[in-house]
Amino acid sequence: MSGATPNTPAAPNTPGTSHTPGTPRVLRAMNDRAALDLLLAHGPLSRTRIGKLTGLSKPTASQLLSRLEAAGLVEQTGTSEGRPGPNAQLYAVNSRAAHVAALDVTPERILAAVADITGATAGEFELPTGRGGEGAVRQVLTALDGAVKDAGLTRSEVHRVVIGTPGAFDPNTGRLRYASHLPGWHSAALLDELAAALPMPVEYENDVNLAAIAEQRLGAARDHQNFVLLWSQEGIGAALVIGGRLHRGWTGGAGELGFLPVPGTPLVRGVARQGSGGYQELAGAQAVPRLARELGLDVPDEPYARAAATLLARAAADEDGDPVLAELITGTGRRLATGLASVAAVLDPELIVLSGDVIAAGGEPLRAVIQAELAELAATRPRLVLGGVPHRPVLRGALESALADTRDEVFDTSR
């Protein structure tokens, strides 16, 4: 599943400015940003340490810190201890310099979170939506305000919001596609209504793409420029990262693997109506309880995705060598590998990250089966790893996306 409104990176020089690379103002701004990034990465640092890490002289580092402190971007935060000589003043990024918000939308609930500019979560809120009633705009406002209140802020203090949904907002029409199961989100006027209701920039991204952003920034795909994230939860889909950038496709539908024709299932007919068949039927969450019943296992009386996770977690934790539970892992892994073989043949990724509650429940035993089966099916041999952001990866990815753009704006001292 890939898609949504692309986040266009800022150009090196914002239109309307006259900053020329190499001028003192631009060089100062570059040093400022380098220091701020170091403080984000390492935490509080002394002037001397910042100077060493940036290669700046002590006087220049002192001027830099004074400039950033006056701009409200850094603050003094105690002194170093435990070293010979006088204690050194420590500096840190001012967490109050800006705040961002993120929403993770599913048919059953909206998770909302607010983070400060350092990335620390300041507030959270969960809004159940399965009962219907409120429209999408009202639901967004209610969830956002709940997280903002929990953070001790007001709505106007949030710099940017990123909203993650299943499917994708087609950049050509503004309509949500590939997510007919998300009621109330398909109006052509929805994006305009949200823009009118919210005082800050709002961006939209596919939920699986956001999980990939979380893995790229914080998890298993760090330092990887070409990878695929395979997601299995209520739906099955993928995020595609090529040359370090998300590939969304013309309509935002790149990675909608649920529709992929695969052996063992009918071709998907009536795609616009979410027709059955394809990779979703073969290897999606609903396939796990079906396979378990065929093997004679008792299936929990739960929604299919939760039941799938429960069954796979039980099989992965089995230490008694139960052949039936082992076959559940093997059968699920082989089915997942069938679709991944097509992905590997087309994209030749360096890495495949396995994510989502269903795959995570199968853990290392499931990953090992998929890896072994893929070695038999695919000419290329991508390495498979489990996701490294197990807790709310979509929400975390939305926060990381919002933080990246906001830091580029707030940390730009050249203006």
Same domain, 142 and 251: no
Same domain, 277 and 319: yes
Same domain, 29 and 176: no
> Residue 22: pLDDT above 80?
no
13 within some domain: no
Q: Which of 37, 66, 96 is the C-terminal boundary of a domain?
A: 96
Structure tokens at 232: 């299995």
How much is the mean pLDDT over the chain?
90
Same domain, 243 and 353: yes
Name every residue whose Cβ is closer than 8 Å to that of residue 184 and which is 6 or more positions away in sequence: 132, 135, 136, 139
415 within some domain: no
Same domain, 81 and 118: no
Structure tokens at 73: 């971007």
Structural domain tally of the chain?
3
Query: What are 107-123's pLDDT values in tens digits?
Result: 899 999 999 999 999 99
Q: How confident is the model at residue 179 (pLDDT cuts 50, 70, 90)?
A: confident
Same domain, 318 and 268: yes
How confident is the model over 101-107, as a mean pLDDT?
95
> What is the length of the chain?
415
> For residues 22 and 142, which has the higher predicted lDDT (pLDDT)?
142
7 within some domain: no
Same domain, 205 and 261: no
Domain extent at residue 136: 97-211+395-410
> Residue 50: pLDDT above 50?
yes
The pTM of the full predicted model, rounded to 2 decimals, is: 0.88
Q: How confident is the model at residue 93 (pLDDT cuts 50, 70, 90)?
A: very high
Tell me what pLDDT residue 264 has. Answer: 80
Same domain, 81 and 149: no
How confident is the model over 62-88, as a mean pLDDT?
85
> For residues 188 and 227, which has the higher predicted lDDT (pLDDT)?
227
Q: Which of 55, 77, 96 is the C-terminal boundary of a domain?
A: 96
Same domain, 366 and 235: yes
186 within some domain: yes
Tell me what pLDDT residue 171 has. Answer: 86
Tell me what pLDDT residue 133 has. Answer: 61
Same domain, 229 and 366: yes
Query: What are 371-381's pLDDT values in tens digits?
Result: 999 999 999 98
Same domain, 309 and 280: yes
